[in-house]
Chains A and B, each alone.
Chain A
Amino acid sequence: MRLASVSNVRLVIPNTVGEAVDLIASKDDPALPLAGGTWVLRGAVRGDGFEPTYVLVSRLPELQTIDWGEGFLSIGAAVTHQQLADALTKESSLGGLFAAAGKSANPAIRRVATVGGNLAATDFAAGDLVPALIVAGAAIHLIDEQGKRTVTVSDFLACRAELLRGALLTHVTIPLGTGISAHERLTLRHAGDYPVAIADIHVELGDDGIVKNATVAIGSVEAVARSWPTLADRLIGSVLDSKIAELATRDLSDEVRPRDGVDASSWYRLQVLPTVVSRAIRTLLHAGGHGC
């Protein structure tokens, strides 16, 4: 529980990742990593208060870089949504991640909010990057006093609070594969509000346009974003077809545990999800997929 008022908050600025980890892992006064700070300040307005101590990690060079490696992309945790969108414009297999980074929230938020913050905000169900990173096959890299560890996004989300206790999320790596991906989000208005439902789809197509491999993830519908393998299986073996995808989503809706929120009810999220999935398929078709 966060209790401190803004006047009592302590912020420490480390020079190295090691110093940051020592502060985060402190037994007496564990510090919480702070990068853009958007979610922390928004929470304070809603009465969440602050942690007593934060450590500013956004200025650590290791967390600020985007590196195109041999067969993979590495994204520092303090990279902003806008910086990520700017870096991805030419990478079509990551078109979904590009859209997620470039369409989330609003331009002013995208210039400040970070990749690490989007992943680490345990109480934020509507983050755009999370489902996009799931279908991109991303790995999360953490460091704590025991050393470095790497987990898939799905494993990270399954026990996020435990993994982050005493650890710093340093970067994300994504294998650069083939295929095309799409990110679709539905907001109640166009005014930059949180999406009610998000669908991310990545497919690999054969020369005949048949889907050979597919990955689907949904965000904002349930309390935590997740992959949806049974829906992905329904896409494999056919050409891309938005109507078939919509019907398959409706058919499998019993597998979804939608959340209630002030912005939208669980019933509404479930009702709109098939349409959001069908829009993602249409986006894939525009990206180079073959329709029937």
Chain B
Amino acid sequence: MLIQITVNGETRGVHAPPLMSLGRVLREEFHLTGTKLVCGEGFCGSCQVFLDDEAVNSCLVPIATADGRQVRTIESIAEPRGPLSPVQQALKDADAVQCGMCFPGMIVSITSFLENCPHPSRLDVQAALVGNLCRCTGYERIVDAVVMLGAEG
């Protein structure tokens, strides 16, 4: 099936089985490997991307349902040699990143969340991140970073 999607601002066509996941297409066809496919069941959130400006788990989005829509991946969050995005910078400042496997999805999720809730409480952040698992950090510094970023904004 021919699918046309706009990925990080560029409209692209791809022949793919209609129920192949968006995450697989991004990684295997477009080589956007910043999107991490981990659990494959929507629990861990490592594969999150923006689909029409909403953060979704790309592992559970059939590529056919993305036809004609806008996709933004972690690669679009900041220019390769430019400054970090505010969320990336806050996580760096809080020394929140360890192995990094979950962070592409974590950053998409946090960026989406702050667009709708720019000054969140700690509980707000915890509720927003229930679908983003991190097995390294224990979450506290991640939550600290988001709360501090919201307080500054």
Contact = CB atoms under 8 A, between A and B. Distances in A.
Nearest to A39: B60
B130 A41 contact: no
Contacts of B126: 190
A50 interface: yes
A223 interface: no
Contacts of A45: 40-41, 59
B45 A108 contact: yes
A17 interface: no
Contacts, number: 94
B93 to A, nearest CB: 25
Contact of A111 (B1, B54, B64, B65): B54
B142 to A, nearest CB: 13
A54 B131 contact: no
Interface stretch (A30-38, A202-210, A230-238, A281-289): A30-38
B125 to A, nearest CB: 12
**Contact-residue bracket for chain A:** 20 to 34
A40 B62 contact: yes
A118 interface: no
A36 B43 CA distance: 16
B2 interface: no
**Contact-residue bracket for chain B:** 20 to 34
B43 A193 contact: yes
A107 B133 contact: no
A111 B55 contact: yes
Contact of A105 (B21, B42, B55): B42
B42 A38 contact: yes
A97 interface: no
B42 A109 contact: yes
Contact of A107 (B17, B18, B64, B130): B130
A56 interface: yes
Contact of A112 (B43, B45, B57): B57
B55 A40 contact: no
Contact of A6 (B20, B48, B57, B133): B20
Nearest to B126: A190
A109 B60 contact: yes
Contacts of A56: 64-65
A58 interface: yes
Nearest to B112: A107
A111 B40 contact: no
B130 A106 contact: yes
B19 A108 contact: no
Interface of B: 1, 17-21, 40-43, 45, 48, 54-57, 59-62, 64-65, 109, 113, 126, 128, 130-133
Q: Please list the 4 inter-chain residue pairs (A to B) with the smallest Cβ-Cβ separation, ordered nearest first.
A: A106-B131, A11-B18, A192-B130, A37-B62
